[in-house]
Structure 1
Amino acid sequence: MDTVGRLKLLCRNARHDAAVGESMPNPKPPSPVGDSLWPPLLAFLALQLLLLAPEWWLPGGSWLQPAIAAEALLVMGLLLGLTRREAGWLPPLLGGGLVLVVALALSDLAAYWSLGRPVNLYLDLPLLASVEHLLTGALGRVGGWALLLAGGVLLLGLAAGAGLAMRALMRHHVGPRRRLLGALLVAAAVGVYAMRNEWPVGLHFAAPAVDRVAAQGERVLATARERESFARALATPSAPAGPASLQRLQGRDVVLAFIESYGESAVRDPRYAPVVQGALEQLAADLDAAGLSVVTGLLRSPVQGGQSWLAHGSLLSGLWLDNQLRYDLFLASPRSSLIDDLEAAGHHSVAVMPALTAAWPQGRLWGYDEVHDYAAIDYAGPPLNWVTMPDQYTWHYFQRAVREPASEPVFAELALISSHAPWTPILPVLPDWSRIGRGEVFGPWADAGPSPGELWRNAERVRAHYAQAVAYALRTAGAWSGRYLGEEALLILLGDHQPAPLITGEETSRAVPVHVVSADPSLLAPLREFGFMAGVLPPEAPNGRLDDVRGWLRAAYGGGPERGVAVAPSTAQ
């Protein structure tokens, strides 16, 4: 081949090589981010925050104690030490698990600050409907559902984002040094988990996800065991076969009125005492002016912050019904209640429940002759956020529609709800009860005061409204008693439970004041033997529990106390 031919051949090869080179991707230079420590470090810190922040906010927790979660070390060790081919399934699994743990942690946090106890999935899943009802009542249907939807979207977004972020940290190829780092992190996680309860490791290290899931499992198992033991105890004939006849109460109306969230803190806490004790002084003045006497006790409630029906049920049954399981088992048993005791004494039993906006089959199981729920109460006034009607109307309706038409003595349970959160608006007690009618008179207060959303942005303002709401409930009860209780009646006016720990603070007593009122001092005298004191102020220390009341009434007014269920205190929270 001559020189010209060789040159042509070289040119063709050069053009071919250039074309191939243009079609092939250029090799990328090593990315500085790929070898950077920042992505795994930031992922580690984010994981730490998700796992540990609820621990810092729980009652008794403190900022940055603990500071490192064993699970975060374990996850980072696996992500750094394994390839995508070896464990490509790991990121979505860990992302889903992280969301479940975070949801449990947030549920525990919400339950502690609202109910003073952790979540128990065995008991609390049915309460989801109550949460929705409370949110929509406080924030409106749109606001409540928007908040629930936002929470669901947030959890789904967290699951997806966590899975993608974890996958991004994994490599197609993992070198020896990276595998060594991953192994060291896994070993550190195992060591931290093994020594998390030892000092001083426990001050700074924890395994919050493992411990939370384990605690939830223990609560569920304990509740399942309790179902069997409490059911057996209820089936044991350890009590009189039938109800007692409370002979000394024959011919007298008996009114059992629960004031929502009226607890010991309202009377003792310096933030609330000036307002609430002023209302108690007015209550005492109204009773004294009507020739009525009062004694007061301080009894422990089985609940705090919510689930009022467990407090009601404990008093009525004479048994400590501190969880939904016990409540349901009691209603399914043949045991009698205070309702049966008073019906045996000739009373017509009535429940006035203005907060019940749905069917209440438990009313039939308790055995009430009549249940007056929201639908049955002819209220034409405005709803007041969560509160369907003010206490003054509830008392007015009870007097007009229940007591006055009755042809026989009445036993009535009233649920007074004006002191239920969100504690806005605050109404005055109208002096002219004859003008109340069907409640239209309360129209001017439909939009009075701040909205719940506005009020709850300021914690101090919320607490001030709480005290005013309890004071309104007490003043209204005093105004009704002074006008209408009469000489032949017995009133038991009490709180159902303390408000949420958000209002009372941590480690607060669960005791509630119990006022017993009558025009006949001889009816109150036997209660002094059980620790009740003359006047409207409660004793310094609790003198019993709500489940004691039924036995005390039986002992004081005839028939003798019913022996309680021979079973250990509840282990289910």
Structure 2
Amino acid sequence: MRRLVFLVFVLNALLLALMIPGSASVPWIAAEGLVLAGLFLWLPARSLRLGLAWGAGVLYGLSALFVLLDSMVRLSLGRSLNLYLDLSIMGASVDLLVANLGWMGALLVFVVALALCLILVALVAGLLLRIGDQARQVPGRHLAVGMAGMAVTGLILPAQLVGATVVRIGAVHAGEALEAHQASQHFRERITAGPMERGSSPVALGGLTDTTVVLAFVESYGVSALFDERYRPVVQQALANLESAVQARGFHVVSGRLRSPVQGGQSWLAHGTLVSGLWIDNQQDYDALLASRSPTLINDFQATGHETVAVMPAITMAWPEGRALGYDRILDADSMDYLGPALNWVTMPDQYTWSWLHSAILEPSQVPVFAELSLISSHAPWVPVLPVLEDWRSIGRGEVFEPWRGAGEAPVSLWKDPERVRAHYARAVAYSINVVAGYIENRMNQRSLLVVLGDHQPAPLVTGEDASRDVPVHLISADPALLEPFAGDGMKPGYGLDGFSSGIWPGERPGSPMSAFRPFLHRHFQVRDNISHR
């Protein structure tokens, strides 16, 4: 009898373990455990017990795999796994895993996950069969008392002590998937009604007619890099260097915060949110934006007379999304003339991207340019971290970075130690900011507005749980009139962008959503006579 009680206890513990990663409260007794144990105590036929045991084992193994995936999503993206939203990005997730760990490392992850699943299937099936076998050795009256006791326990104990595990997990995630589906449907309906809500034409930003505007997204540059004491000392020095470069050129800077729709990844959703003026926090809404052909900042600047350029050094394959957004030119990794080494996931260092942008795009252009940059040196795995080269004229086509080919330890080695990962993160962000300082000192011209901002916070592994999703924003220009709306009206709560002020350091007041940025530009820089798509 004692052995039977012990086996039921182990079964209960295995079922409750499924709830630990994603639940604030875990019951003491799993209702499924009571039901399964009761069935195996009662079922007389060995064949029935065998089929039910393996069926329950497979269900448990799949549930455990789901919980593992959910934990990984929480750790990397700061939210729970949502099958409706995440199935469409599984391929991109696998590509990122391969890029960071290599084929062998990624294959090892899959093999370990599969092996764990199979072990759990066999463990639960074997456990249930042994419960059935032990029940055959217990006197009938003792068995009847035990079954009655389990039934009474399940009925009289409060809900917080007895609860379904697999059923509850499935119900919660099914509810989240349904909510996501309904929200996406609402988004599609709203974006279809765009002509009534926002106008079907782009808005000419007459206040920026003769100004080249560079919108530079710094990968994983979140407010934790500034306000978390683990990173602040390193990044603060980089911001001091940036401020010194601004002052040395006689430029001006305004800084603030914006709230990103994502954390830890899916940078394109943050990009889409900012340029569209719509809150886009999942792939389905992003796809709806592309299909709708709704106007964005790209079209606004085209209407203003700018050439619109996307500089995307991370793009190494076809990018139909860029064509759907309507840039005049899309420059991917293969279009940027880079002859230096790749640096793990990073195709080229930020310093090359800035140098190439100036020499190949901005300097030769006969018209103002709107350039969107996706900077990637501060993208995980944050190794190696390069120094900023003082002589920008030596950068050429990137051969100067050859000494860093294969530099630094392998990502799979670094990521065994979370503390060293965090140290590399701070250094990588500082590098990206120092590169911006070097660009201002050596390349930026007087008729430019430079908008430097993060795309999202890094993963919860770096920020900790429940960190703000705000990212820093720095606007830099030689013309203080271009910055005055941000430092002036931006200080008025509810006026569009909250919490911007003069200087390099953003305040601690929470920022407006990224979707507020485009309407703010419309309010302060637009020409009233809208111009249609060209």
Same fold (TM over 0.5): yes
Q: Which AA in structure 2 matches 1:261?
A: S
Residue 184 of structure 1: aligned partner: 149
Residue 452 of structure 1: aligned partner: 411
Q: Which AA in structure 2 matches 1:215?
A: V
Deviations 1:92-112 (A, max 9, x none): 221111122112211221111
Aligned mate of 1:210, from 151, 154, 167: 167
Distance 1:48 1:469 in 2: 46
Aligned mate of 1:367, from 305, 310, 326: 326
Residue 534 of structure 1: aligned partner: 502
Q: Which AA in structure 2 matches 1:269?
A: D
- Would the alpha carbon gap of residues 289 and 557 (structure 1) be closer, same or farther in structure 2, given more than 3 Å must change? same
The equivalences for 1:373-388 within 5 A come to 373-388=332-347
Q: Which AA in structure 2 matches 1:502?
A: L
Aligned mate of 1:488, from 436, 440, 447: 447
Indicate whether 1:295 and 2:295 are aligned: no
Residue 38 of structure 2: aligned partner: 77
- Would the alpha carbon gap of residues 42 and 356 (structure 1) be closer, same or farther in structure 2, given more than 3 Å must change? farther
Residue 548 of structure 1: aligned partner: 516
- Would the alpha carbon gap of residues 537 and 172 (structure 1) be closer, same or farther in structure 2, given more than 3 Å must change? closer
Unaligned runs of 5+ in 2: 492-499
Distance 2:135 2:150 in 1: 19
Distance 1:360 1:158 in 2: 41
Aligned mate of 2:180, from 223, 232, 238: 223
Aligned mate of 2:377, from 418, 439, 451: 418
- For the pair shown, the structure with the greater C-alpha radius of gyration is 1
Q: Cα distance, 1:67 vs. partner?
A: 4.5
- Would the alpha carbon gap of residues 423 and 166 (structure 1) be closer, same or farther in structure 2, given more than 3 Å must change? same
Bigger mean CA offset, 168-177 vs 232-241? 168-177
- Would the alpha carbon gap of residues 48 and 382 (structure 1) be closer, same or farther in structure 2, given more than 3 Å must change? farther
- Would the alpha carbon gap of residues 433 and 179 (structure 1) be closer, same or farther in structure 2, given more than 3 Å must change? farther
Residue 496 of structure 2: aligned partner: none
Deviations 1:507-563 (A, max 9, x none): 11111111111110000001121231101101221231111100111112114799x
Deviations 1:249-299 (A, max 9, x none): 112211110011111111001111111111100011111111211101111
Q: Which AA in structure 2 matches 1:82?
A: L
Q: Cα distance, 1:457 vs. partner?
A: 1.8
Q: Cα distance, 1:404 vs. partner?
A: 2.4
Q: Which AA in structure 2 matches 1:81?
A: W
Bigger mean CA offset, 384-393 vs 275-284? 384-393
Deviations 1:349-397 (A, max 9, x none): 1111111222211101111111111222222222212222111111122
Q: Cα distance, 1:55 vs. partner?
A: 3.9
Distance 2:528 2:464 in 1: 39
- Would the alpha carbon gap of residues 527 and 170 (structure 1) be closer, same or farther in structure 2, given more than 3 Å must change? same
Bigger mean CA offset, 132-141 vs 153-162? 153-162
Q: Cα distance, 1:68 vs. partner?
A: 3.8
Distance 1:333 1:439 in 2: 39
Residue 29 of structure 1: aligned partner: none
Paired-residue identity, %: 44
Indicate whether 1:134 and 2:96 are aligned: yes
User: Retained in 1: the 8 A contact 2:4–2:134?
Assistant: no
Q: Which AA in structure 1 matches 2:490?
A: F
Deviations 1:164-192 (A, max 9, x none): 44234323984533354245335534656
Residue 78 of structure 2: aligned partner: 116
Distance 1:72 1:420 in 2: 44
Unaligned runs of 5+ in 1: 1-35, 563-573
- RMSD between superposed Cα atoms in Å: 2.3
With normalisation by structure 1, the TM-score equals 0.85
User: Retained in 2: the 8 A contact 1:78–1:182?
Assistant: no
Bigger mean CA offset, 98-107 vs 176-185? 176-185
Distance 1:186 1:371 in 2: 66
User: Retained in 2: the 8 A contact 1:287–1:481?
Assistant: yes
Indicate whether 1:146 and 2:123 are aligned: no
Residue 27 of structure 1: aligned partner: none
Distance 1:454 1:258 in 2: 28
Q: Which AA in structure 2 matches 1:196?
A: A
User: Retained in 2: the 8 A contact 1:391–1:476?
Assistant: yes
User: Retained in 2: the 8 A contact 1:301–1:545?
Assistant: yes
